[in-house]
Amino acid sequence: MRRCEEIAALLYQYIDRELSDEEYREVRQHLDECPPCKDVFQLEENVLTVVAKCCRNVSAPQNLIDRVRRLSAEHTE
């Protein structure tokens, strides 16, 4: 089994789903067996979730959407 430091180095690639299936399984297994590592990974994921959630609350104003629709129509003719 990989050591905690090696697993920690894969933290972001794991969170970003950028690992191979085999590496992903290895990290998953380590986290299931190592509560301290699991806490570290969980905190990272939670922080990123908070960041994503609050940024995604922002929507384009209706007048901008209307202007872009008009641009689209102009470029059709």
Residues forming the site for another protein (CB under 8 A): 12-13, 16, 18, 43-44, 46-48, 50-52, 54-61, 64-65, 67-69, 71-72, 75-76
- Contact at 8 Å (CB) between 37 and 7? yes
Task: State which residue, 4 or 50, has the beta carbon closest to another protein.
Answer: 50
- Contact at 8 Å (CB) between 59 and 30? no
22-25 own/partner pairs: CB under 8 Å, 24+ apart: none
Q: How far is the CB of 7 from another protein (least distance, A)?
A: 15
Task: State which residue, 3 or 75, has the beta carbon closest to another protein.
Answer: 75
